[in-house]
Amino acid sequence: MRTYQTDQIKNILVCGNPKSGKTTLVEAMLFEGGIIERRGSVESKNTVSDYNEIEHENENSVFATVLYTEFADKKINIIDTPGLDDFSGGLITALRPADSALMLINGQHGVEIGTEIQGRHLESHNKPAILAVNQLDHDKANFEKVIESLKQSYGSKAVIVQYPVNPGESFNSIVDVLKMKMYKYTADGGKPEILDIPADQSSRAEELRNELIEAAAENDESLMETFFDKGTLDEEEMLKGIKLGINTRNTFPVLCISSRKNIGVGRLLEFITNAAPGPHEAVPVVALDGSEIKCDSKAPTSVFVFKTSLEQHIGEINFFKVISGEVTESMDLVNSNSGSKERFSQLLVTAGKNRTKVSKLVAGDIGATVKLKSTKANQTLTLPGKSLEFEPIVYPEPKFRTAIKAKSESDDEKLGEALARMHDEDPTIVIEYSKELKQIIVHGQGEYHLNILKWHLDNIYKIETDFIAPKIPYRETITKLAQATYRHKKQSGGAGQFGEVHMVIEPYAEGMPDPVKYKINGKEINVSVRGKEEHKLPWGGMLVYFNCIVGGSIDTRFMPAILKGIMEKMEEGPLTGSYARDIRVAVYDGKMHPVDSNEISFRLAGRNAFREAFKNAGPRILEPIYDVEVLVPSERMGDVMSDLQSRRAMIEGMTSEKGFEKIKAKVPLAEMSKYSTALSSLTNGRATYTMKMGKYEAVPGDLQEKLLKAYEEEQEEE
């Protein structure tokens, strides 16, 4: 395969709502470019893009697939992304190497919830987009309805470049108002007959052409002047304005296709090569030090690895984009993240599982390599001696969690390795080995997402596993002051054990003054602070420890042992075994024995005194409360609101957004179990949500009693 120069390269991701026809379109794009000799289909399970067994089984994309086609002396790198929100990590990954997006719009439904979600991702990453209305050959295709929904989402920035003459089962003709020609296709699609626009279409075509001219002129002052002078723009001038508008997200051109019949696909590729921004025209990549790295093949080589894939018989494949300079076979680079040296023993360009060796890739191009020693996705490779690191891809917060356990203990190690590999391949799978909960917690974007993970464990890694209910990371704290005295005394031959500790505990609040006196049971206890330690706890909150010992009742050398005992009970709270937080402890008196006192005696005395005081200090169980945002079609809002309220949600507000309602709420994590499945069921898959940890709040009294009782029963069983 030839080496393409930077100005001959286009990098485009294909996105859209599920069932909008992305994989079928990509198949047609590769066929039009001569990369494949015949088109496969999703139903026949033989497409180039969806080549994994799980994708065949489910008939939808699970992974982002890197492909390419060649057209009009250009190389178009294509990343086919999953439509389901559960696999949004594929889209987020593709946003980094892609310079623009091709958004497919279902010709029957127009803008759908998935279109909205993906559109917001494109907007937040400032990615230009071309809109392609697909499935215009469907008997329920409605182009006018589609345009109406696009105008609601994109306003006047959505500009018609093409419209269908006869949408529906007989669809075979498109009017292109940029070319001012009609493209008529045979039943097999492919190469069209290019005709003059029929008389019955000329009025509409002229009207839409004038709208396109005005939209193009608005993107450039010189074009605007030309437009005022001549009253029109020629095709070359229009294309210049459209290209500027696309790159600045001021123009979203609308084209028409049927990917199934291969109608309009060649013209779409032509439009991409002429109007989509190339890598040298896109926004420069920003390094962590804030510097901008331009896409220049003559600059020092820098590479960003955006995706790691694991495949049987091959192993690890790393997909990368050449940000600057060029990469050649057998080239040595350095991993900026780890400092390790890496050799590109093979350079590949990929079309699904089909891989072609190349000798060189230049700035802006996308390729793959195998057998790197330690490089993973989200890492930077540069020439030796160059200090440069690109910003990592930031993935969305998880929305679904479950605990996982191998059915056989002998598979525990294999399970850990498999989960680590799956995280490398899909960073939206987050693995948490929770010492607190004594569980492996797997976080993902939805129940379907984690069911696919389990399928891989069962079928690829051959590890039988169970999903079990994840425990909730409760916290324990106190609401009032309490005092306790505990004497630890043990005598069983030889050296004995003795330690007595008097302590006061109280709730911690930021900015509290150090204690001077305490009033307990009507009696005042004066204290004098001799030492103060503030411990910011790994699980959140604070422990403040005061040494208020006077007169040597406890030797200074035993104070750390008392703190250690307190911390042990903080790590396994007295109520439910959960972490305790936000407590101040003052040790103000005690006793010791000249022979029998030692560190273990005071550690146990401190631990037990803390436990007794805790139970008398108005103890409360705290639960994690998440900030939840739900985007739901207006007609389903009532059902979703009712469901949230049944989950103890505190509704904080609602706003309207392009035909959808956004509900903001605070919801206990304990009530979010399987929420993604419930929401999908309530809205026929048309709603989505995000969730992020907010804060801890006290559980209701009746729930606290249930938790205490459950913990007591669990302790009795053990």
C-alpha distances in Å from residue 611, one per residue of 75, 561, 614: 69, 15, 5
**Dihedral sign from CA coordinates of 253, 256, 260, 262:** negative
pLDDT of amino acid 50: 83
pLDDT of amino acid 1: 79
What's the longest Cα–Cα distance across the chain? 112
Chain-centroid distance, C-alpha 371:
27
Kindly give, in sequence order, each residue whose CB lies less than 8 Å from that of residue 379, ignoring residues fewer than 6 positions away: 304, 305, 335, 336, 337, 338
270 and 324 assigned to the same domain: no
Chosen domain end from 617, 644, 663: 617
120 and 256 assigned to the same domain: yes
334 and 367 assigned to the same domain: yes
| Residue 104, domain CATH | 3.40.50.300
Is residue 493 domain-resident? yes
Residue indicated by tokens 């439904």? 109
Neighbours of 521 (CB within 10 A): 5
Per-residue b/e over 617-652, b at no fewer than 16 CB within 10 Å?
bebbbbbbbbbbbbbbbeebbeebbebbeebbbeee
Kindly give, in sequence order, each residue whose CB lies less than 8 Å from that of residue 20, ignoring residues fewer than 6 positions away: 83, 104, 105, 106, 112, 114, 115, 134, 135
Number of domains in the chain: 5
pLDDT of amino acid 430: 96
Amino acid at 161: V
112 and 143 assigned to the same domain: yes
Dist. CA 105–CA 118, nearest whole Å = 12
52 and 151 assigned to the same domain: yes
CA atoms within 13 A on the CB side of 283: 15
Q: Are 131 and 272 in contact (CB under 8 A)?
A: no
| Residue 408, domain CATH | 3.30.70.870
Chosen domain end from 350, 382, 414: 382
Q: Which domain holds residue 357?
A: 296-382
Task: Record the pTM.
Answer: 0.87
Query: Quick one: which of 155, 139, 15 has its CA closest to 88?
Result: 15
Per-residue model confidence as pLDDT tens digits over 600-656: 999 999 999 999 999 999 999 999 999 999 988 888 999 999 999 999 999 999 998
Pairing of strands 579-580, 475-477: parallel
94 and 181 assigned to the same domain: yes
Chosen domain end from 617, 642, 677: 617
| Residue 638, domain CATH | 3.30.70.240
Q: 636 is written with which tokens?
A: 């389903």
Residue 360: Cβ-neighbour burial (10 angstroms; 0-12, 13-18, 19+)? middle
pLDDT of amino acid 476: 97
pLDDT of amino acid 718: 64
Is residue 286 domain-resident? no
CA angle 324/325/327 to nearest 5° reads 110
143 and 267 assigned to the same domain: yes
Q: Are 198 and 177 in contact (CB under 8 A)?
A: no
74 and 202 assigned to the same domain: yes
- Where the chain has pLDDT below 50, the residues are none
Residue 461: Cβ-neighbour burial (10 angstroms; 0-12, 13-18, 19+)? middle
Is residue 127 domain-resident? yes
Is residue 221 domain-resident? no
308 and 271 assigned to the same domain: no
420 and 482 assigned to the same domain: no
pLDDT of amino acid 611: 96
Is residue 284 domain-resident? no
| Residue 343, domain CATH | 2.40.30.10
Kindly give, in sequence order, each residue whose CB lies less than 8 Å from that of residue 515, ignoring residues fewer than 6 positions away: 504, 506, 527, 529, 546, 548, 584, 586
Per-residue model confidence as pLDDT tens digits over 556-612: 999 999 999 999 999 999 999 999 999 999 999 999 998 899 999 999 999 999 999
Neighbours of 21 (CB within 10 A): 25
Pairing of strands 129-134, 100-106: parallel
43 and 129 assigned to the same domain: yes
Dist. CA 370–CA 368, nearest whole Å = 7
Dist. CA 509–CA 481, nearest whole Å = 13
Dist. CA 676–CA 654, nearest whole Å = 20
C-alpha distances in Å from residue 686, one per residue of 391, 673, 710: 33, 19, 38
| Residue 518, domain CATH | 3.30.230.10
480 and 612 assigned to the same domain: yes
Query: Quick one: which of 435, 473, 402 has its CA closest to 707?
Result: 473
The SS3 of residue 187 is: coil
Packing angle, helices 675-683 and 637-646, rounded to 10: 150
Q: DSSP states of 602-636 as a string?
A: HHHHHHHHHHHHHHTS--EEEEEEEEEEEEEEGGG
**DSSP label at residue 358:** -
